[in-house]
Amino acid sequence: MTLAILIVVVFGLAYSNGANDNFKGVATLYGSGAVSHRTALSWTTVATLAGSVLSILLAGSLAKSFTGKGLVPLELTQSSELLIAVAAAGAITILLATFLGMPTSTTHALTGALAGVALVVGHGHANLGKLWDSFFLPLLVSPILAIGAAALLYPLFHRARRRFGITRQTCVCVGDTAPQPVQLMRDGAAFVAVPAGGGPSFTIASREQCTERYDGRVMGVSALALVNNTHALSGIAVCFARAVNDTPKIAALLLAAGAAGVSWKLGLVAAAMALGGLLNSRKVAETMSKRITDLNPGQGLTGNLITAALVLGASRLGVPVSTTHVSCGAIFGIGMASRSARWGTIARIFATWMTTLPMGAVLGAAIYWTLTRFGS
């Protein structure tokens, strides 16, 4: 009975993780207009499944981090009460943020839940100092690194593009035709689009109806095709990296229970993550893709490369960073560098981050106390 309850709450945790996190890797692809929402969702689902399958080979040490080993007494790391409390608290916290359309961190929610359990156990039996070195420090440093890397690399990539003679075009789709290059002139609240190749001008309601693309060639290859293809690969890499980093954290709760078999546990987590992304990721997708800053394909590519590099590197080292923090940090940095950041949205995301860990801690403590006091 206890194992069945644990399986249900871990499934819920994995589902909430997929709903909040799966789309983050392809958010820049959708936000820059490179692909449709449906295409981006298909790509992220496949990449997530692939990353989940291979995660145990690349990031097995992360599983040990989230059983509470070193944070609470060893005999408690396999207790059903601890495992259920951590999984349930994480699932509730992430689902609430997803309902509000705010990207948040599964790592933060799980860390908060572990901290809450540790507080219930008591200072005499819990190693709260481990929280700083093993959890809080990586979570604080990773978004700062992402913001700094984006703010530094994007201007360098921008100058390199101009040096290669690659220009940007603003395009608009008219009817069923291919995107047509235009020049935009503001006319009150609307814009007048003047075709670059000549022809009658027309009015559009907002700039969001336009897309940006690159014109030029690099070593004989179309710059537009090169950026778009690399951008797509980078988005898939971020989704893969996120699954590699997150799957062991969730599967650890089942592995610690001691039930036989590893494959079915990883399969359960992978399936739940994919299902959550397919059914409940739209609100977070819109926030990440459209509401933080305006993105063109080059900016999206920069953000994805930074995110994939930091998350994969952390996974290989067994450091539990948050893909959300890294991905959002990279987009924040690009918005700062391009002076197009929407600070209201960024402030709401930061507020969500600030409340995720304490909410996970309160829920984890409450659930663990209830289970140990009234459970059999």
- For the chain, the three-class secondary structure string (H helix, E strand, C coil) is CHHHHHHHHHHHHHHHHHHHHHHHHHHHHHHCCCCCHHHHHHHHHHHHHHHHHHHHHHCHHHHHHCCCECCECHHHCCCHHHHHHHHHHHHHHHHHHHHCCCCCCHHHHHHHHHHHHHHHHCCCCCCCHHHHHHHHHHHHHHHHHHHHHHHHHHHHHHHHHHHCCCEEEEEECCCCCCCEEEEEEEECCEEEEEECCCCCCEEECCHHHEEEEEECEECCEEHHHHHHHHHHHHHHHHHHHHHHHHHHHHHHHHHCCCCCCCHHHHHHHHHHHHHHHHHHCHHHHHHHHHHCECCCHHHHHHHHHHHHHHHHHHHHHCCCCCHHHHHHHHHHHHHHHHCCECHHHHHHHHHHHHHHHHHHHHHHHHHHHHHHHHCC
Kindly state whether residues 325 and 250 are assigned to the same domain.
yes
In a domain, 167, yes or no: no
Residue 223 in domain? no
What is the pLDDT at residue 53? 78
Confidence at residue 273, expressed as pLDDT on a 0 to 100 scale: 93
**Domain membership flag for residue 220:** no
pLDDT recorded at residue 44: 93
Q: How many domains in the chain?
A: 2
Average pLDDT by stretches of 10, the chain with 376 residues: 84 94 88 85 92 68 52 64 90 95 87 84 59 66 87 82 66 55 54 58 51 63 75 86 79 67 73 93 91 82 84 72 83 87 89 90 93 77
Whether residue 199 is found in the same domain as residue 84:
no
Residue 225 falls inside a structural domain: no
Q: Looking at the structure, tell me whether residues 63 and 188 fall in a common domain.
A: no
Domain co-membership, 236 together with 198: no
Residue 60 lies in a domain: yes
Instruction: Classify residue 221: in a domain, yes or no.
Output: no
Q: Is residue 202 domain-shared with residue 132, that is, in the same domain?
A: no
Specify the pLDDT at position 59: 47
Same domain for 296 and 370: yes
Say if residue 303 is in the same domain as residue 187: no
What's the domain range around 194? 174-215
Q: Are residues 278 and 358 in the same domain?
A: yes
Are 238 and 338 in the same domain? yes
The pLDDT of residue 136: 67
Please indicate, yes or no, if residue 208 is contained in any of the structural domains.
yes
Residue 226 lies in a domain: no
Q: Residues 88, 211: one domain?
A: no
Same domain, 254 and 367: yes
Residues 197 and 341 in one domain: no
